[in-house]
Amino acid sequence: MKVVELGCRETGGSRSFWRMLSGSGRMALAVLATMAMIALAAPFVCRHSPRIASGPALAAPSAAHPMGTDELGVDLWAQVAHGGRISLLVGAGTALLAGFGGAAAGIACGYRGGLADRLTMRLIDILLVMPDLPLMIVLAAFFGPSVVTIIIVLSAFSWVTTARVVRGRMLTLRERRYIKAAESYGAGTFYLLRRHFLPEIMPLAAVGMIRLAGRAIVAEAGLSFLGLGDPASRSWGLIMHHALSFRGIYYTDFWQWWLVFPWLALTLVVTSLALIGRDLERMADPRIRRRGC
Amino acid sequence: MGQRHTTRFCEYLFTILVVLSLNFVLPRAMPGDPFLILSAEHGEEIARFSPAQEEAYRRQYGLDRPWPVQYASYLGGLVRGDLGYSIYYNQGVTDILLARLPWTLLLVLSAVFFSTLAGCLLAGLSASFRDSALDRLLYPLMVAVAEIPAFLLGLVLLFTLAAGLQLFPLSGAMTHFADHGSLWGKAVDIARHAALPVLTLTLVRTGSMYLLARNAMITVLTRDYIRTARAKGLSPLRIFARHSLRNALVPIVTRVFLSLGGLVGGAILVENVFVYPGLGRLMRESVMVHDYPMIQGIFLLVTVTVLSANFLADLVYKRLDPRIGESAEVRP
Amino acid sequence: MLTVEDFSIVYDRDGSPLPAVSGTAFSLAAGESLGIIGESGCGKTTLALGIMGLLPGATVSGRVLLHGRDLTAMAESERRRCRWRHIAMLFQNSLEVLNPVITIGEQLTEPLIAHLGLTARQARERVTEMLAATGLAPRWLAAYPHQMSGGMRQKALLAMALACGPELLIVDEPTTSLDPESRQAVLDLLQDLQSRLGFAMIMISHNLPAIRRLTGRLLTMYAGRVVEEGDTAEVLRRPLHPYTRGLINAAPDFFPYKDLWGIPGVPPRAGSLAGCGFAPRCCQAGDFCAELPPELREQGSDRRVACHKGGIETVLSAHGMVKTYRLGDEAVKAIKGVDLVVRHGEVVALVGRSGSGKSTLAQMLVRVLPADGGMVHFFGRSIFDRQATAVIGGMQMVFQDPAEAVSHRLSVLEAVREPLDIMGHGERGDRERRAMAALAAMHLPTSTDFLRRTCHGLSGGQRQRVAIARALVTEPALLVADEITAMLDPSTQAVILRELKGLQHQRGFSMLFISHDMHLARKVADRVYVLDQGYIVEEGAAFEVLNGPADSLAMSMPAVTRN
């Protein structure tokens, strides 16, 4: 997974990274890794199809259907497993797009400055104060729901935080003596990037990306839950949306599996990402590490 | 300082202008004919528009006139408070919004109030007894709470407390057609209906408020001027109330204003979990039936509110902290 | 009025105790001023905070008696009432010492209202008076701390400290981070207010001239302990503890011409050493110094020093030195009765005009020239002959003329090894190693090629270096340098003196530096003797003699240029 690789480069060795994680961080990483693997191997792990009815409607969990079935008789386990793919896609996609995009923007603005920097900061200010969910709802409503649209819209919002943080770090870095010294030796931008900037920025960007992934997954789930998700996907939010739209959901106990399992999946992913994010934050900031906050 | 206010004000004005323009451009920039989708089928809600209604839409949007004219009339309408006409509800958008707004405000403001109170109290305890058992228990708990998305938490509460234990109603803001003997009865009824949504939003917000307040208080306690105050032999109460709190308040209060933006997003989702008749529920309904004027109206109202809250946060911050000069930004 | 008895402060950090102050004791009468000096981290501020009772995270033992009442035994609420009312503190000035969101006026009137029960209006009036006394206009009452400059904030802090009329004011570094003008202003203000209001003062500072000006008694603290105590002017003129001397030497205010040499090494981590905390950095540390921490003992009248050797030892002391030459029938008294003292680790300059008898005196001290009268004691033992020079760790002399100082027949190595050969010290290989080390210390090459070269072929500067290396090979406790650079060019002179001073500083030996060049003496000397016509006419600390009044002999001596 992307997370571990970046952490390795930063801390020098996957074993030391594992050791640096707290107990909860390790558990979170394990859970996340398991869920990702299930999602990726979904067609092989599930006996039934996520789209076609394969059993009685609203059946309780059993040996044949470990998570039960929904109102159409479609296996829930298959839906949840395949739904994980959407979350994975949205999370990773947004994190990469917004993360790298934001980092790149931050580096460019922080290092070069000038008019482009000022304009970008204005843009960031505007995007920061806009409430993202209403705008995302509006955009999704107008442009139609699809996973790609959602990724693009989410990225368009999320790149700003990373950009801001990275820019701030770049501003400090730019003034460091060793950068000035390297510049006076004739170092080009590419060299500075490779040798000095990226190693400093990577930890920041990594933490940002974890945050981004978590928020993107929640945002996609929220949109799907509202009914704005891609109807062709089987995202967890959409499953919950269908469940809640079912008349009588409150008076029966179908919710005990139809709602609970996607809910559980979502909560696990979000919490794990949050824990890993906090651990990474702790590792990246020597002050917090020392104080043990 | 006045100059600074004006600059920030202009920036916010500019942002609002961007939002307005976005509102204007969106329906006109949609791929394909907007009215192909007007007749929508979604789930159990079916909306079919008659040719007369479609004609009304066309006229409203003035799609046959040149763009600058459309923009001008759009802005003109806004100034008059006319946000358009909802085809689905058959009413002026403004009227519907004004009817539903109070419910959302009830949720949001209550959540802000309770979460700030709870967060600050717990943080005060934590900061005063730092590294005690209480602190060590609270801190990770609050960290966990701060990360849970609002609507997930809402679902839990809905199914355990409302559907399961039947302690609270499942939906709505008031019991319909009920006759309450007094104002008090009515108030209790509203409170019962609002309890779970408010609880959800409050819980979600308390986590981050606690973390912020705790951090602010701990930082303040280590400052030199607290040592000076103790050296002056002032009573502990005075030191706490006048010296510590006053300084810790600055980041807390600004955060309260700034968090309104996030709370609004949370409220939209939570209202839908609890089928609470505020703006969030309205937004979903409008999206389901593709009621574009309504969608735009809600979006505009929400955005302007959040922006105003941010601007207020700026003003309040300046007043609270006399050190802020020309170049400072509001840091949450 | 104030008595501190056996006061100790121990921080309890995560279970491992950190002693910050150990066994401090002193007393202060009403209106008296006490100065506390020491390096950063030696515990000065901790002591002050401990006296005020502002260290909640530390264990405090011992007693603090104010007018006979023990502050440490009081309950916190009672102690709180004492604070500011009886003992106030002027904290080290920083932007954060005052609350940034409260006006100056409110912060100044707070203690008045809390302790004296004044109404708001009465408090304002009193505060306005205090501000006026410190030179601030009343309109600053409505200002916020960040709106004032550093110097003004200092004055406001002072006004705040004196508002309740305390009997004791503790001042912590009043002049740090202020420009010289503001510094003077604050010191003037403190002096003025103290004479007017009559409060006692404890002043903690790095600024030795300020301490000299404002305090009557002085405490030196090192690693949480008091190592010297006495009358301020006396301690500064004649420090008895090596640490105090090191602090004074490092003050550019006192030695404007001398190059800056600090104290090598760093203070130990509290509680890490069993013996004297200063031993690793001390020039005269003995074996038993590392075993037991020294007690603070009386050493002469009105002075207490914590040192196993009773303070800085005297290396050389000479009394009543007399030398008479016979020129035909006449008897010319070259030296007419001279007393001289050189202490461990210091550089003493002996200056005087040509012909004043400096070299004669020096040679008598080293016993190269027989004296006609007087006694010379080396480390307390009187010496007559070569007892002090024919040993390791004794006295050595370096002469003026490099050409004569070293035999031109000997190779470099042989020349430097000579003293050891004569003394029969150690094995041959050991002697060679020592010789090479001495050469390296004087920055001479130690290649075989150079070592085999005869001194005949060396330049003046190199020969002088060889002479010095030869003197240093026996690791002397006292080096007598008789005009050693007078025959060298200025650049060589500068280099050699700098290297020599560096060695002296590092190894801690004493040096008697003889010169007719005042400027040169100013660069290296801690103490000065001025010799004129056979008498010592002036003596004292270098900052007293060499920066002294214009009509002193030292100042009127012309700076003689190279001949």
| Cβ atoms C106, C156 nearer than 8 A | no
- Placement of tokens 């491992």 in the chain: C16
* Ranges B89-93, B218-222, C128-132, most confident: C128-132
Gap from A187 CA to chain B (nearest CA, Å) = 33
Residues B261 and B198 in one domain: yes
Q: How far, in whole angstroms, is CA C143 from its chain's centroid?
A: 42
Q: Do B269 and A222 touch (CB under 8 A)?
A: yes
CATH of the domain at B211: 1.10.3720.10
Note whether C462 and C481 are same-domain residues: no
> Phi/psi class of residue A292: alpha, beta or left (left: φ > 0; alpha: ψ in -120 to 50)?
left
Verify that C482 and C535 share a domain, yes or no. yes
Please report, for residues C67, C246, C249, C252, C443, the alpha-carbon distance to residue C261 in angstroms, rounded to integers and kept in the order given.
Answer: 43, 8, 7, 10, 20
On whether residue A207 sits in a domain, the answer given is yes
Q: Can you tell me which residue has the tokens 């650049």?
A: C491
Residues near C173 by beta carbon (within 8 Å), at least 6 away in sequence: C92, C93, C204, C205, C206
Please check whether residue A232 touches B, CB under 8 A.
no
With respect to residue B1, please indicate whether it lies within any of the assigned structural domains. no
Determine A/C contact with 3+ CB pairs under 8 A as the test: no
| Domain assignment of residue B13, yes or no | no
Euclidean distance between CA atoms C471 and C399, whole angstroms? 10
Does residue C374 sit in the same domain as residue C487?
yes
Residue C522 resides in a domain: yes
Residue C426 belongs to some domain of the structure? yes
Residue B271 lies in a domain: yes
CA C474 to chain centroid, in Å, comes to 28
* Residue A43 belongs to a domain: no
Last residue of a domain, one of C135, C165, C195: C165
**Nearest residue to C177 (alpha-carbon basis) of C90, C93, C91, C89:** C93
Same-domain pairing of B210 and B308? yes
- Taking CA atoms, C524 is separated from B69, C208, C510, C517, C559, in Å, by 90, 20, 12, 12, 16
Q: Which of residues 302-321 of B touch C (CB under 8 A)?
A: 320-321
Is residue A11 over pLDDT 60? no
Domain containing B48 equals 18-79
- Among A2-16, B168-182, C2-16, C495-509, the range with the most confident prediction by mean pLDDT is C495-509
Cα separation, C308 vs C291, whole angstroms: 10
**Residues of chain C contacting residue B231, judged by C-beta atoms under 8 Å apart:** 52, 54, 83-84, 88-89, 91
Q: Which of C380, C239, C386, C237 is nearest to C318 (CA)?
A: C380
Q: What is the DSSP code string of C392-457? A: TTSEEEE-S-HHHHS-SSSBHHHHHHHHHHHHT-S-HHHHHHHHHHHHHHTT----HHHHHSBGGG
Q: Is A129 on the interface with B (CB under 8 A)?
A: yes
Whether residue A147 lies inside any domain: the answer is: yes
Task: Give the residue on B whose Cα is nearest the Cα of A145.
Answer: B287
In chain B, where does DSSP find H-type helix? 2-29, 51-61, 67-79, 93-128, 133-147, 150-157, 183-221, 224-231, 236-238, 246-273, 279-288, 292-320
Residue C324 DSSP one-character state: E
**pLDDT per residue as tens digits for the range B238-280:** 888 888 888 888 888 877 887 777 788 888 888 888 888 888 8
- The residue among B325 and B177 whose pLDDT is bigger is B177
Tally of structural domains, chain B? 2
Asked if C182 and C323 sit in the same domain, the reply is no
Residue to substitute from C85, C99, C110, interface B, most B β-carbons within 10 A: C99
Which two three-digit tokens encode residue A211?
Answer: 């945050």
Residue B43, pLDDT > 80, answer no
The answer to whether the beta carbons of residues B330 and B254 sit under 8 Å apart is: yes
Q: Are residues C554 and C432 in the same domain?
A: no
Q: Is beta strand C510-515 parallel, antiparallel or unpaired with respect to C347-351?
A: parallel
Residue B330 has what pLDDT? 35
**Could you tell me the residue range of the domain that residue C501 belongs to?**
313-394+475-563
Does one domain contain both C414 and C539? no
Q: Is residue B261 part of a domain?
A: yes
Confidence grade of residue A15 (pLDDT, cut at 50, 70, 90): low
- Chunked into runs of 10 residues, chain C (563 residues) has average pLDDT values of 84 77 87 89 86 85 87 85 88 84 90 87 90 88 87 89 90 85 87 91 90 92 89 89 88 79 79 79 82 83 85 88 84 87 91 84 85 87 82 87 79 86 83 89 86 82 88 90 86 88 88 88 87 86 68 52 33
| CATH code of the domain covering residue A90 | 1.10.3720.10
Are B74 and B187 within one domain?
no
Domain count, chain A: 1
Among C473, C496, C515, give the residue marking a domain's end: C473
* Each residue's pLDDT tens digit, B183-200: 787 888 888 888 888 999
What pLDDT was estimated at residue C368?
81
Residue B244 Cα distances to A161, B77, B225, C101, angstroms: 31, 50, 9, 10
Same domain, B114 and B60: no
- Quickly count: other Cβ atoms within 10 Å of residue B122's Cβ: 22
The answer to whether C235 faces chain B, any CB pair under 8 Å, is no
Burial class (CB in 10 A: 0-12, 13-18, 19+), A184: exposed
> Do B295 and A137 count as a contact with CB atoms less than 8 A apart?
yes
**For C131, what's the count of Cα atoms within 13 Å in the CB-facing half-sphere?**
22
Percent of chain B with pLDDT over 90: 3
H/E element holding A284?
helix A260-284
Return phi, psi of residue C79, to 5°: -65, -35
For B28, which residue in chain A has the nearest alpha carbon? A142
- Decide if B230 and C54 are in contact by the 8 Å CB cutoff: yes
Q: Is the Cβ–Cβ distance between C74 and C66 less than 8 Å?
A: no
> Does the structure show a pLDDT above 50 at A9?
no
In a domain, B177, yes or no: yes
- Same domain (yes/no): C117, C247: no
CA-nearest residue to A259 within chain B is: B155
Domain-embedded: residue A8: no
The reply to whether C52 falls in a domain is yes
pLDDT for C219: 92
Is C417 inside any structural domain?
yes
Tell me, what amino acid is at C375? M
Q: Which CATH number does the domain housing residue C488 bear?
A: 3.40.50.300
User: Are C236 and C384 members of one domain?
Assistant: no
Handedness of CA A172, A173, A177, A179 (dihedral sign): negative
Neighbours of C370 (CB within 10 A): 10
Stretch 125-144 of chain C: residues touching chain B, C-beta under 8 Å: 144
Residue listed under structure tokens 């500064």: C236
B241 phi and psi, to 5 degrees?
A: -70, -45
Query: How many angstroms separate the Cα of C183 from the Cα of each of B129, B232, C34, C104, C137?
Result: 41, 25, 19, 22, 20
Do C71 and C190 reside in the same domain of the chain? Answer: yes
> Do B135 and B159 have their domain in common?
yes
Position B90 in a domain? no
Angstrom distance (rounded) from CA B169 to CA B171: 6
Q: What is the domain range of residue A267?
A: 84-292
Q: Which region, left, alpha or beta, applies to residue B91 given φ > 0 means left and ψ of -120 to 50 means alpha? A: beta
pLDDT at B62 over 70: no
Nearest CA in chain C to B224: C97
**Residue A175 domain flag:** yes
How many residues are recorded in chain B? Answer: 332
For residue B295, is pLDDT > 90?
A: no
List Cβ neighbours of C17 (8 Å cut-off, separation of 6 or more): C10, C11, C59, C271
Question: Which residues from C are below 8 Å from B229, CB to CB?
Answer: 99, 110
* C503 assigned to some structural domain: yes
Contact at CB, C146 and B229, closer than 8 angstroms: no
Does C269 map to a domain?
Answer: no
More confident residue, C161 or A180: C161
Q: Does a structural domain hold residue B287?
A: yes
Instruction: Say whether C242 sits in a helix, a strand or coil.
Output: helix
CB-neighbour burial class of residue C425 (10 A; exposed 0-12, middle 13-18, buried 19+): middle
Cα–Cα distance for residue pair A273/A208, rounded to 1 Å: 11
Is residue C542 in some structural domain? yes
pLDDT at B294 over 90: no
Alpha-carbon distance of C287 to C279, in angstroms, equals: 9
Q: How, if at all, do strands C527-532 and C347-351 pair?
A: parallel
Asked whether residue A36 is assigned to any structural domain, the reply reads no
- In a shared domain, residues C322 and C457: no
Do residues B28 and B108 share a domain?
Answer: no
Q: Last residue of a domain, which of C165, C200, C217?
A: C165
For chain C, what is the mean pLDDT? 85
Amino acid C38 reads: G
Q: How far apart are CA C107 and CA C457, in angstroms?
A: 77
ipTM over 0.95: no
Amino acid C549: pLDDT: 55
Q: Closest partner residue to B264 among A131, A222, A271, by Cβ?
A: A131
Average pLDDT of chain A? 79
Q: Does a structural domain hold residue C279?
A: no
Nearest CA in chain A to B211: A293
Mean pLDDT value across chain B: 77
CB-CB contact of C237 with C540 (8 Å): yes
SS (H, E, C) C6-49: EEEEEEEECCEEEEEEEEEEEEECCCCEEEEECCCCCCHHHHHH
Q: How many CB atoms lie within 10 A of CB C479?
A: 22
SS3 label, residue C126: helix
Question: Which residues of A are less than 8 Å from B156 in CB distance?
Answer: 263
C133 and C241, same domain (yes or no): no
Count interface pairs A-B at CB distance under 8 A. Answer: 112
The whole-number pLDDT of residue C169 equals 93
Q: Is B279 left (phi over 0), alpha (psi -120 to 50) or beta?
A: alpha
Interface size, chain B vs chain C, as Cβ–Cβ contacts under 8 Å: 71
B228 touches chain C (CB under 8 A): yes
Domain count, chain C: 4
pTM of the model: 0.72
* Separation CA C232–CA C303 (nearest Å): 10
The sign of the torsion formed by the CA atoms of C119, C125, C130, C131 equals: positive
CB contact under 8 A, B225 and C54: no
Minimal Cα distance from A275: which residue of B?
B144
Residue A16 has pLDDT above 70, yes or no: no
Both tokens of C554, joined, read 């030292």
Residue A130 lies in a domain: yes
Q: Are residues C255 and C181 in the same domain?
A: yes
